[in-house]
């Protein structure tokens, strides 16, 4: 069973075994249409964006104005309507899938933890990647060579224990951390 969540931020518990926790807000979701394989078209609200295709979908499924995002999720529902939260209330472990913070075009020291060179005393090898190839043989750069480039903003899934879930405020508390900035949207999948 999958849910769309928004990362609220991190905190910790008190006690001798104090654990770092991540708070996630489970968004209000509406099941629009069920597919045969247990998945469904689900609508949720994100920003205030609206256009004609969105309005058309809202009209078709009789949704209110704020439900402007549509996604296919595995759901426990047997009919369209509000999303069934029962599997989440009973969950012990979840997989949380978020995009990591985007760092843009990044050098090799930050992206791949290369050591770099001395900063001064006549050196010219500061933060550069250095040699990337061999000699006349093999005469090419090996595949998978670690170089500078886009770092971050990629999908990362982590496996977390569930500490608590409050159905009233819809706040899910996970043990440990998840990727991404506070306020970022991601999806969680109930494992156990």
Partner 1 sequence: MRNKYIESFEAAQIAQKQVPEFKAGDTIRLAINIKEGDKSRVQNFEGICIAIRGEGTGKSFIVRKMGANNIGVERIFPLYSESLVSVEVLRRGRVRRAKLFYLRELRGKKARITELRRK
Q: Footprint of partner 1 on this chain (CB under 8 A)?
A: 8-16, 18, 21, 23, 25, 169, 171, 173, 182
* Nearest approach, Cβ of residue 153 and partner 1 (Å): 23
Nearer to partner 1, 10 or 76 (CB): 10
Nearer to partner 1, 64 or 169 (CB): 169
* Nearest approach, Cβ of residue 175 and partner 1 (Å): 13
Burial (CB count <10 Å: 0-12, 13-18, 19+), residue 178: buried
* Nearest approach, Cβ of residue 25 and partner 1 (Å): 7
Residue 113 CB-half CA count within 13 A? 0
Nearer to partner 1, 40 or 173 (CB): 173
Four-residue CA torsion sign, 60, 71, 75, 184 = negative
Helix (H, G, I), strand (E, B) or coil at 185: strand
Nearer to partner 1, 75 or 174 (CB): 174
Residue 148 CB-half CA count within 13 A? 12
Nearer to partner 1, 150 or 182 (CB): 182
* Nearest approach, Cβ of residue 3 and partner 1 (Å): 16
* Nearest approach, Cβ of residue 11 and partner 1 (Å): 5
Helix (H, G, I), strand (E, B) or coil at 73: strand
- Torsion angle of the four alpha carbons 75, 178, 167, 84, in this order, in degrees rounded to the nearest 10: 0
């Amino acid at each position: 069973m999958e849910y769309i969540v928004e990362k609220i931020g991190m905190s910790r518990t008190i006690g001798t075994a104090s654990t770092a926790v991540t708070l996630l807000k489970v968004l209000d979701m509406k099941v629009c249409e069920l597919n045969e394989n247990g998945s469904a078209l689900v609508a949720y609200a994100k920003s205030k964006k609206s256009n004609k295709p969105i309005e058309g979908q809202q009209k078709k499924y009789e949704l209110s104005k704020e439900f402007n995002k549509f996604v296919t999720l595995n759901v426990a529902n047997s009919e369209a309507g509000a999303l069934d939260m029962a599997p989440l209330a009973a969950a012990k472990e979840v997989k949380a899938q978020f995009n990591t913070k985007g760092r843009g075009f990044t050098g090799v020291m930050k992206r791949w933890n290369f050591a770099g060179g001395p900063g001064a005393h006549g050196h010219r090898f500061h933060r550069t990647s250095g040699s990337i190839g061999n000699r006349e043989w093999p005469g090419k750069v090996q595949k998978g060579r670690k170089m500078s480039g886009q770092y971050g903003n990629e999908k990362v899934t982590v496996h977390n224990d569930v500490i608590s879930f409050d159905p009233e405020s819809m706040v899910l508390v996970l043990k440990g951390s998840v990727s991404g900035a506070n306020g970022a949207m991601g999806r969680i999948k109930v494992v156990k």
